[in-house]
Amino acid sequence: MTDEVGTEAVPDGSEEWLRRALDDVASSVSAPPQAYRKGQADWRRRAVRRKALLGILVLTVVAVACAIGLLVLSCGSASTHVIYDDAGTGTVVVPFPPASS
């Protein structure tokens, strides 16, 4: 027998019997006295480990980005530092080192 939602209808008394059975099982279960503190300490240790790992990862990414940037900058030619290099359009070309006046 199904109701209008499509779920099985529970016979009378079955729900109460199931509730009492689950209450009996729940009342017989007892946790060790230090279970909560142990779980909380474990959770804190994992959170600290996760934050440390994230910090190391961020530091590594920043260090690699800086190293790549320095490598790219050091590969440039020291003799021709050009700000704008469009010939004939009125742009400025600055030689390096600047000419002393």
N residues, the chain: 101
Q: How does pLDDT run along the chain (101 residues), one tens digit per residue?
A: 555 555 566 567 888 899 999 999 988 888 788 888 999 999 999 999 999 999 999 999 999 999 998 888 887 666 665 555 555 555 555 666 655 65
Residue in this structure with the two tokens 């910090």, named with its chain if needed: 55
pLDDT computed for residue 22 by the predictor: 92
DSSP labels for 50-96? HHHHHHHHHHHHHHHHHHHHHHHHHTS-SS---S---TTTT-----S
pLDDT computed for residue 79 by the predictor: 64
Question: What whole-number distance in Å separates Cα of residue 10 and Cα of residue 31?
Answer: 33
pLDDT computed for residue 78 by the predictor: 62
pLDDT computed for residue 80 by the predictor: 61
